[in-house]
Chain A
Amino acid sequence: KNQVEQSPQSLIILEGKNCTLQCNYTVSPFSNLRWYKQDTGRGPVSLTIMTFSENTKSNGRYTATLDADTKQSSLHITASQLSDSASYICVVSDRGSTLGRLYFGRGTQLTVWP
């Protein structure tokens, strides 16, 4: 069964600190992995997208890594800001259909305190 598991479920950090969010998946055949940021009451916004051959990708203070062999990904946030408070969702796409079916994790709820 294609699944995406994220940890931790929630995380509280102080402003300025770094943090790392984890994602494990069993989706096969694998096409790409995305990290989305979803603010409360809003739609998800894409942060990074990585294909099989990519190990790391950065977007400002966000750095995503991918290990396709172990089927694990992480999202590292550097020097956190209050505006980073949101849910971070790991999404994996398969190659099994032209639709590019997406499999969503439940997200990690990050809270940044001043």
Chain B
Amino acid sequence: EADIYQTPRYLVIGTGKKITLECSQTMGHDKMYWYQQDPGMELHLIHYSYGVNSTEKGDLSSESTVSRIRTEHFPLTLESARPSHTSQYLCASSGASGGGYEQYFGPGTRLTVT
């Protein structure tokens, strides 16, 4: 089982609140990712990082921001939550492997904004 953790697992919060979703991995992977997934839909990449102090936006536009100050930590922040941010957020990491950068996923954070 991959050593990648996300907290909280579930979060219900009111509109306008600032939230931070935590993601940590203990595998020493350089690359980390944030995906957004709505029920029955595919995962969409919203942020990624090649390493410390590197962050990039993904394919899906998102009002969230990320930071990568330490290799193992890749938190995602929403400054002002809105109901449209309600979704599942999945964090992943990858390192070099023979098969081509296998991505390991965390358990996800189910966010509901009321």
Contact = CB atoms under 8 A, between A and B. Distances in A.
B42 A49 contact: no
A102 B90 CA distance: 14
Interface stretch (A11-19, A64-72, A73-81, A104-112): A104-112
Contacts of B92: 43
Q: Place the interface of chain B in its size category.
A: 20 to 34
A49 B100 contact: yes
A104 B42 contact: yes
Interface size class of A (residues with CB under 8 A): 20 to 34
B100 A42 contact: no
A24 interface: no
A20 interface: no
B65 interface: no
B101 A42 contact: no
B99 A43 contact: no
Contacts of B12: none
A107 B42 CA distance: 7
B94 A41 contact: no
Contacts of B104: 46
Nearest to A102: B103
Interface in B1-26: 4, 6
Interface of A: 4, 31-32, 34, 36, 41-46, 49, 51, 89, 93, 98-102, 104-107, 109
Given A43-B92, A100-B94, 7 more contacts: A32-B99, A34-B102, A41-B110, A43-B4, A45-B105, A100-B100, A102-B103
6 contacts: A43-B90, A43-B106, A43-B107, A99-B48, A106-B41, A107-B42
